[in-house]
A and B are shown apart, each in its own frame.
Chain A
């Protein structure tokens, strides 16, 4: 005999499972900005707050490549960005000032500059379970004014309920990175 409580319990369990897999994050779009005018961007080196020394560079690389792969925006080669940073003598490339941003935009002839911070990259553990997690936030600055026109953050991976209950190592870190970048790009293109 079917009990009336069964459906709510199942729904609650499903919600809990979905909640475990969901990613956190936020986004901001400047309502006065015409994003259609952004044709060329430079992606700065991301700041690295993770334990993996190459984590930020890997996330930046995947982000730049997947942004270019959308076909909507042209992304300058990393080597050209490095040349621009070197020529302007920008010491802290991950945290440039407004003045530095506008100069860099003029030198590289780009419409916007993207910077970011990688907060987590690699394995997290909880008891005997372990899984990869990647967390990053990115900001887009208008090259002519240096103001923030878009910002978003996302976290992907980590331990799901099934990982905790049944074990398992989660997805490879590269797959988690791609998922994170996809989420960030969704937040850029879907206003």
Chain B
């Protein structure tokens, strides 16, 4: 037997004890290992044109072609191009950063797809240092429009220069291919039921919120249905509020007991009920959104700073309101990519999206605690049952 301790001498006993400990450690599973999730039964996926949140021009057609290859490599049949364009035209859909329930149901009927892949490009540069930041999510085509998988990429060519700059990536195509291959593996894992459907960002102490509040009456261990509203943009960059909202959506989706409402559904309700959030979310707005979306919590906030570049700098405030109109959580985060960096740029964060992701992760931890077990995203009813 491998783990037996049969020695009679004291040194032998000590060795045996060590062997037993090593055996026990080896037999124990990794602490953060996710419980098995059922595979996603998808065969056909519609590839919607990517939404540009970068604030600058992006060659989206080239990216769409790479995304198509990624989906095919994951074993999916892709509906794209003219067929999707005709569908969008027929339903007068100009916004492709999200999808509402009616459009998702129509996509199933007319395109014959099981899900829709939505892409938001948050950062792009081909030179002098290539850079790509994008968030992808797979939303079920059907009347529920659930987020099935969500992951992102945020890399710059000089992220890991290594010894003598051997790790530098100077070609944008190489960077794009490498990062989309990583995303493809994440998607394949989720499809097979072995990976997380929404992998969270790394949690670093230096990116925790600078000030946060959580109401003592709020139970962070319960299950909730959460809708994230677009953040009020107080920066000079266009659509910066949507970047923060998307990153927070991604980190909330990683928490297994939450059901996060697809941002396209939230946007549809804001438009349908003509909700204008002047100066931020009011209690009336929060109640309207919670009622129409049948959600338990609404998350809103303010984007105060979003500076991309060699050293990104970000600042935002996020808050959650419950059905009684009470603020149950609020956090203010700000950081630069060089915070906590002392020697040779070790640990430097070089893209705003990566920094936003880590700040959002830190904020979500103060909201709901450290929950690394990302199980499959449950249905709304499951979330409600867990809460009860």
Binding site for B on A (CB under 8 A): 54, 57-58, 61-62, 65-66, 68-69, 71, 74-83, 85-86, 174, 178
Contacts and interface: CB of A to CB of B under 8 A. Distances in A.
Contact of A79 (B216, B234, B279, B330): B279
Interface in B192-216: 210-213, 216
A12 to B, nearest CB: 35
B284 interface: yes
Contacts of B186: none
A65 B216 contact: no
B330 A65 contact: yes
B279 A78 contact: yes
Nearest to A81: B279
Q: Which of A61, A75, A85 has the most CB of B within 10 A?
A: A61
A65 B283 CA distance: 17
Interface in B236-294: 277-285
Contact of A62 (B216, B277, B332): B332
B211 A69 contact: yes
Contacts of A74: 326-327
B297 interface: no
B332 A80 contact: no
B213 A77 contact: no
Interface residues of B, number: 29
B212 A82 contact: no
Given A79-B285, A174-B210, 5 more contacts: A57-B234, A66-B211, A69-B211, A75-B327, A77-B319
Given A57-B234, A65-B330, A69-B212, A82 B278 contact: yes
A98 to B, nearest CB: 23
B334 interface: yes
Given A68-B213, A174-B315, A58 B277 contact: no
8 contacts: A62-B211, A65-B330, A69-B211, A74-B327, A77-B283, A79-B282, A80-B280, A80-B281
B224 interface: no
B278 A86 contact: yes
A124 B212 CA distance: 29
Nearest to A54: B234
Secondary structure at chain B's binding surface: helix, strand, loop or mixed?
A: strand
Contacts of B332: 61-62, 65
A79 B281 contact: yes
Contacts of B326: 74
Given A54-B234, A58-B304, A79-B281, A71 B216 contact: yes
A178 B211 contact: yes
B280 A69 contact: no
A78 B280 contact: yes
A80 B325 CA distance: 10
A178 B315 CA distance: 14
A77 B211 contact: no
Nearest to A172: B336
Nearest to A69: B213
Nearest to B335: A174
Interface in B158-200: none
Nearest to B300: A79
- Counting chain A CB atoms within 10 Å of each CB, which of B211, B280, B283, B332 scores highest? B211
Contacts of B212: 65, 69
B282 A77 contact: yes
Contacts of A62: 210-211, 332
Nearest to B235: A54
Contacts of B350: none
Contact of A65 (B213, B232, B278, B281): B213
B354 interface: no
